[in-house]
Amino acid sequence: MPPKRAKGLKQSAAPAAKRARTEADTPSPTPGANDPQPVYVGEVDEEDDVAELVALATAAKAKLAAGDEHGKPLARGTVHEAQRLLNVETLLHAERRAVLLALATALVLLAAYDAKALDNSPTEVVDVATGHVDEAAAITENDKVVPGVPSVENVRAYVALSDAVLSDDAEALSKAVKELTAQLTGDDHETLAWLAQRRLETAEDVDAWADACTALWTSLATDATEGAETARELGQGLCLLAKATAIVEEQGELAGEDDGQVDKKVVKRARKMLEKAETHIKAAINTDSHPSAQHFVPLAETHVNLGTIGELLDESACSVCARYEQAVAAFKKAREHDPEAVDEDVVEGLQTTIAEIRAEEDDE
């Protein structure tokens, strides 16, 4: 069987899969996103401006982590209110520390999720946030208990890891993961992992960034947060899928050249990655009470890649079609959850390819 068909198939399926993962992982506008919205920030004394600020920063982080655009104005509001409070002369030491930590958190959120709204680069904003954490750490007096305020260590780790993610420096991220993840809460840990995962889509060195992301996902194993296991399995699967996809695409291009030669050893290495990715993604589906297109699209793409590898290695039509049929089933499952996740043309294209492969086999 000619591998050129596999190459063309991969190109037609990848955009839909990438689009689905990007939409699932990246905050997207919601109806009425610019309308004033009531925000519940928990049981907070309305006369305690600092406690309200801490709750506002926490709400902003939670919303942005969940893909809710309303987190952006909350983060901006946190910055403005924090700057106002820092000019209040009667602020107690513990209150000032809490305000500085909330401000640092909000600045990092804006750098990560709303960079276009910033006057400075994300890196510069993170540097400012780091300065606020340092100032907070220097305040040792505990003259008041501010409810809900995180520890200095927690915010410092969150800011530093965010800086590593935003820098696109895989080596720096791997180092930060080893040194700082123990200081993170479960929710912060998972949020940063997804932030790093999104940047894998545009990473120049896919292998290095995928390995750094994998280290971050693996470190999530110590978290008992609800959903952590599912997120960890899916994240690890996506990292392996990204690494393998890069190999398959490269080998597909080689197969399309005049001599049509591929490096079978490299292709088989990609297959092992994909088989591991499949295991992780299926584990994520099995441990999630509400699996979605975010799970089924990468599962489908894994099957597409495995089918492509079958063609590159000139394997039997039966085994190749079996993988493509599994991809069709997974894409259809994704569309059941979200009709916009995958273009129907992608599914129809796969079905046409399967029919062509079977027809070629019958003619031989």
Q: What's the rounded mean pLDDT across residues 72-95? A: 95
**Are 232 and 302 contained in the same domain?**
yes
Confidence (pTM): 0.80
Tokens of 67: 């893909």
The more confident residue out of 279 and 42 is 279
Looking at every residue in the chain, the average pLDDT score rounds to: 85
- Of residues 247 and 26, the one with the higher pLDDT is 247
Residue 3 has pLDDT above 70, yes or no: no
pLDDT reading at 244 higher than 50:
yes
What are the φ/ψ torsions at residue 258 (nearest 5 degrees)? Answer: -55, -45
Query: Over the stretch 56-65, which tens digit does the pLDDT of each residue have?
Result: 999 998 888 7
* Closest-CA residue to 299 (of 150, 307, 256, 53): 307
5 lies in some domain: no
Q: How far apart are CA 268 and CA 316, in angstroms?
A: 16
Q: How confident is the model at residue 44 (pLDDT cuts 50, 70, 90)?
A: low
Structural domains counted in the chain: 3
Do 108 and 172 lie in one domain? The reply is no
Tokens at residue 107, please?
Answer: 């600045």
Shared-domain flag, residues 214 and 128: no
**Is the domain of 246 the same as that of 262?**
yes
Is it the case that residue 23 has pLDDT exceeding 70?
no
**What is the amino acid identity at position 144?**
K
Q: Could you tell me if 154 and 214 lie in one domain? A: no
Residue 63 lies in a domain: yes
pLDDT at 138: 97
Statement to judge: residues 213 and 324 lie in one domain: no
Q: Could you list the residue range(s) of the whole structural domain that residue 78 is in?
A: 45-167
Determine what percent of the chain is predicted with pLDDT higher than 90: 63
Q: Are residues 155 and 270 in the same domain?
A: no
211-229 tens-digit pLDDT: 999 999 988 766 656 778 8
Domain membership flag for residue 6: no
- Give the tens place of pLDDT for each residue, 161-202: 999 999 888 999 999 998 988 888 767 888 888 889 988 888
On whether both 205 and 278 belong to a single domain, the answer is no
* Structural domain contains residue 303: yes
Lowest mean pLDDT among 129-143, 177-191, 325-339: 177-191
pLDDT, average across residues 294-308: 97
Q: What does the pLDDT average to over 90-118?
A: 94
The stretch 46-70 carries a mean pLDDT of 88
Taking residues 148-171, report their average pLDDT: 92
Residue 327 lies in a domain: yes
Domain annotation covers residue 14: no
Task: Check residue 28 and give its pLDDT.
Answer: 32
Residue 315 lies in a domain: yes
In-domain check, residue 125: yes
Q: What is the largest CA-CA distance in the chain?
A: 87
3-state helix, strand, coil in the chain (%, to 5): 75, 0, 25
